[in-house]
Amino acid sequence: MRDLPRLPLDADAFGERYGPWAVIAGASEGTGECYARQLAEMGINLMLVSRREEALEVLGKELAKEHGIEFRAYAQDLTEPDAGLKIVAAAAGLDVGLYISNAGADGFAAFFEDGTENAHRLVRMNITTLIDAANGFGKRLLARGKDGKGRGGIIVMASGAGLGGQPNLAMYSATKAFEINFAESLWAEYHERGIDVLGVAAPIMRTPTLLRMVPEGFDTSDTFDPADVTHNALAGLLAGEPIQIIPDGPGAEKQPQVEADRKARLIGFVEFNKTFTGG
């Protein structure tokens, strides 16, 4: 796998700001499991969400035994209507300081040959569920703060596919573009109000989902370790970054500058907006 240097991460500061509970939507394997392991190591309790409750229970019990955390397993298909609302309701009574939207990847298909059923499923998973969950948990993060500010964070695991269109990934690319712009907009609205939001334009990672999609014997040596990607996302959230773009694919050498330019654009619009609001 490709090397991705890990950013510094202050575990105590992270736990103080985003604990005591985190909710991970899409937690049974891959990047979701990596997030769960890294958060548990920092002593943060976990509500684990995915369709496979048995896998969540196995993971939760392992982490509870190893790190002494509490956990809840909640079975929910992220493509179902009202999935986001149900996740927020299931976390009632928990002091949630971090929500991670970690919807999985999808298979390759040409749009006209594929029809629209899969397209609508992706819209529900990557857009509708994210909207409802972010709004519900965001209100709770605002209420956790003091002196007019909130406290906590949201991570949106998008994809480099969201930076531009790609063949056979029309809907996946489009919904991941929504995720990136949605996360950046929330950062612009709430970063100065005490709530951190990070959108991650993730690279191709060696996850179980990828291995199920590619042909047997496919060379995965050019992929990234999901544990490195999730570690850096946690570090970036704490550092107050709005977006992370992991250099990958055509034009990779330009992506660090793209990331910097997008952040500068956001900051400019934040300042511009203050002229209208007086803030």
Please give the structure tokens belonging to residue 220: 């995965």
Q: Is 93 left (phi over 0), alpha (psi -120 to 50) or beta?
A: left
Please confirm, yes or no, whether 172 is among the known catalytic residues.
yes
- Please give the Cα distance from 26 to 32 (Å, whole number): 6
- Please give the Cα distance from 247 to 251 (Å, whole number): 8
What Å distances lie between residue 140 and 40, 129, 152, 194, CA to CA? 22, 17, 9, 12
Residue 215 backbone phi and psi in degrees, to 5: -65, 155
10 DSSP 8-state letter:
-
- Please give the Cα distance from 212 to 203 (Å, whole number): 17
From the candidates 74, 99, 176, 190, give the one annotated as an active-site residue.
176
Q: Is 159 left (phi over 0), alpha (psi -120 to 50) or beta?
A: beta
Q: Is the separation of the CB atoms in 195 and 187 below 8 Å? A: no
Please confirm, yes or no, whether 176 is among the known catalytic residues.
yes
Cis omega (within 30 of 0) for bond into 167 = no
From the candidates 18, 35, 74, 172, give the one annotated as an active-site residue.
172
- Please give the Cα distance from 72 to 48 (Å, whole number): 6
Q: Is the separation of the CB atoms in 253 and 233 below 8 Å? A: no
How far is CA 113 from its chain centroid? 30
Q: Is the separation of the CB atoms in 96 and 139 below 8 Å? A: no
Report, as residue numbers or ranges, the catalytic residues. 172, 176
